[in-house]
Structure 1
Amino acid sequence: MINPKSGFLTDNNIILATDFYELTMCAGYFQYNLENSIDDQNDTSTFELFVRKLPRNRNYLIFAGLEQVIHYLQNARFNERTIEYFRSREVFKNIDPKFFDEYLPNFKFDLDVWSIPEGQFFFPNEPIMRIEGPTFQAQLAETYILNVITYQTVVASKASRIRNIAGNRIIVDFGTRRSHSPLAGVYAARASYIAGFNGTSNCLADLELGIKASGTMAHSWVQRFPTELESFKAFYKIYGKNSILLIDTYDIKKGTLNACKTAKDIKGVRIDSGDLVENSKIVRKILDENGLKNAIITLSSDLNEHKIKDLIEKGAPADAFGVGTEMVTSRD
């Protein structure tokens, strides 16, 4: 492939992360006001964001995404490239050249924003955000605001349900590889953190947002070595007491024993398959019998609030949960 493109958002193109009809309306507002001698600053509108009804499996929602909205409103600008995109479309041929030559180069958002705080729960038919200002500006911001708020609120609402069930246990976002895009992975990490998660596997969320990233190892690490024990020892040699060893690649009992043979001060083990209740009980017993009573057990494998509730009620000795697909896609 020649000259592949990432398609990523940047501050240089974010102004066009919108629906085309926002552009046709905005250009239309400008042309109408120009022809009717209406000052754009006096042509104001108010937009309110709310939901009409709750999703089928939700009894509340958690608000998230406000920070990205504010960043957009403070930084989104038209530049030579985005103006030329606008100008080049045939549909805008009747728009006065002043729009492209004078208005857009000097455009910036100057809107009043009222919002509930991130992390607050809300219900249908109550405004959670109000945007007020020049109609052109308020209209142009609509699509981006809806996109950012909707996805992060979906994830935060799901994550909140998981946190409520898990109690004080550690919960980490493992969802990046299952999210709908790399950017969605960052937003999911952020939204789940707002809802009470302890951290994420997403390194970019750590770098850009300060949400602590952590991780263990994959089955591919274990399979890379001649034996499971060798893979554990190699990992421990590098990461020491911070090591969390993945023990279910071959046999859960043998994997746990190999973890015990590796070192007595490993941080813990992770189970990612099989009967998590039965396996975690077996693992806890083996760890305790071999002097690793402080080693934590992390469970993962398509977990959600219902599965975690079942694990807890059945006595699974889990100290932490890794939650991914079910949260970032909000499958239900």
Structure 2
Amino acid sequence: MKNIRHLNDINDIKISENRLFYSATHEEIKSGATTDVYFLRTQDILEHLGIQDKVVTAEIFARKSGVFVGVNEVINLLRDKNIEIWSLEEGDIFEPKETVMRIKGPYSEFGIYETVLLGIISSSCGWATAARKIKEVVKDKPLLCFGARHVHPSVAPVMERAALIGGADDASCILGAKFQGKEPKGTVPHAAFLIAGDTLEIAKAYRDITPESEKLTILVDTFKDEIEESLRVAEFLKDRLYGIRLDTPSERGGVTPNLVYELRQRLNQRGFENVKIIVSGGLTPERIVELSQSGADAFGVGSYISDAQPIDMTMDIKEVEGKPTAKRGRIPGEIENKRLKKFK
């Protein structure tokens, strides 16, 4: 796709009637098609003045703390540009107003990408920070992210990769897990049980098609009381059963601490002390603390991570041709941050 640098270039953008999805392709992002239009007008004005190639230093900061994610995509976005980039590393914790990235070079090389790179960082940091908040209360218990169903599929793997960097142990989205060198994790949805008509029928088939080395976790809230169904499954699968998953819908009161506690006690009484209790369904840090204290062993979290607000990022020009400058309210010149690493 032709690179977009001027307002007139917009006239060359044609949307195919056969286009399947509204998400931007990699080529469209690289071309500049997802930027805000006023950056093209800026380029035209600066070229008219003959100053589009002035060397500037731009710094990016956030107004609140979080987990930094997105530098790899920014580097890929600007890989062929004549610029230098310093940044925090993926997974670093940043504080309010801390410089998280610094870019130096001719403004014409990167100016139109301000929208794009801020969007990359803002969204990824929001998801990663939410995952970190969950992991802080989950502690050493497993945390699985499965929020892909709550976001557009074009960004689902971005979200789950960010969650893994933020603290999630595993992810259910195939690409999200693969991007971090992991294998996707997940069991069986309600759909399978509803189609089969019985939990044990699915449990048997799941066992039969699965290598003995693989752990089996069975969802137990589809048809019967969760305690009754859990004990049926445990008696049927015995040593092959790794865990029971509770995902009781809000219409039935959701997964409660009392339910988890009773299930733990009844499993123990039947000799199934090793069977884990995995909980999911609208989990928040506050709910996780209660459920963990009641006996939950692992947590599947979707919407708390996927629905996280992006962390607003601001990019300011701090030097022009080596001379410190800034808009009112900001301090001119580079703000020192010894944690920044040179990436480019």
- In which range does the TM-score fall when normalised by the shorter chain? 0.7 to 0.9
Q: Which moved more, 1:290-299 or 1:121-130?
A: 290-299
2:270 aligned partner? 290
Q: CA RMSD in A?
A: 2.0
CA shift digits 1:159-200 (9 cap, x unpaired): 111111111000010101012x11332122111111121010
Which of 280, 286, 303 is matched with 1:300 structurally? 280
1:116 aligned partner? 88
1:72 equivalent to 2:45? Answer no
1:324 equivalent to 2:302? Answer yes
Alignment of 1:32-47 (within 5 A): 32-33=49-50, 41=53, 43-47=54-58
Contact 2:161 2:177 in 1 (8 A): no
Take 2:182 and 2:43, find their aligned partners in 1: how far apart are those partners? 37
Residues 141 and 121 (structure 1 numbering): CA distance in 2 closer, same or farther, change over 3 Å?
A: same
1:261 aligned partner? 235
Higher RCO structure (Cα 8 Å, ≥6 apart): 2
Alignment of 1:20-169 (within 5 A): 20-33=37-50, 41=53, 43-51=54-62, 53-54=63-64, 60-74=65-79, 108-169=80-141
- TM (norm. structure 2) is 0.77
Amino acid at match of 2:241: I
The structure richer in helix per residue is 1
- 1:115 offset after TM fit, Å? 0.8
Residues 7 and 211 (structure 1 numbering): CA distance in 2 closer, same or farther, change over 3 Å?
A: farther
1:309 aligned partner? 289
1:280 aligned partner? 260
Take 2:165 and 2:197, find their aligned partners in 1: how far apart are those partners? 42
Contact 1:118 1:194 in 2 (8 A): yes
Take 1:289 and 1:236, find their aligned partners in 2: how far apart are those partners? 24
- 1:124 offset after TM fit, Å? 1.9
1:205 aligned partner? 176
1:252 aligned partner? 226
- 1:287 offset after TM fit, Å? 2.7
Take 1:300 and 1:113, find their aligned partners in 2: how far apart are those partners? 41
Residues 61 and 216 (structure 1 numbering): CA distance in 2 closer, same or farther, change over 3 Å?
A: same
- 1:258 offset after TM fit, Å? 2.2
- The runs of 5 or more residues in structure 1 that have no matched partner are 55-59, 75-107
Residues 211 and 32 (structure 1 numbering): CA distance in 2 closer, same or farther, change over 3 Å?
A: farther
* Aligned sequence identity (%): 28
- TM (norm. structure 1) is 0.79
Take 1:71 and 1:262, find their aligned partners in 2: how far apart are those partners? 51
- The DSSP-based 3-state class of the residue aligned with 2:187 is coil
Take 1:268 and 1:324, find their aligned partners in 2: how far apart are those partners? 19
Take 1:301 and 1:230, find their aligned partners in 2: how far apart are those partners? 24
Take 2:196 and 2:35, find their aligned partners in 1: how far apart are those partners? 49
Q: Which moved more, 1:227-236 or 1:24-33?
A: 24-33
Residues 262 and 3 (structure 1 numbering): CA distance in 2 closer, same or farther, change over 3 Å?
A: farther
Contact 1:132 1:138 in 2 (8 A): no
Contact 1:63 1:117 in 2 (8 A): yes
- 1:116 offset after TM fit, Å? 1.3
1:271 aligned partner? 246
- The DSSP-based 3-state class of the residue aligned with 1:270 is strand
- The runs of 5 or more residues in structure 2 that have no matched partner are 1-16, 249-253, 311-344
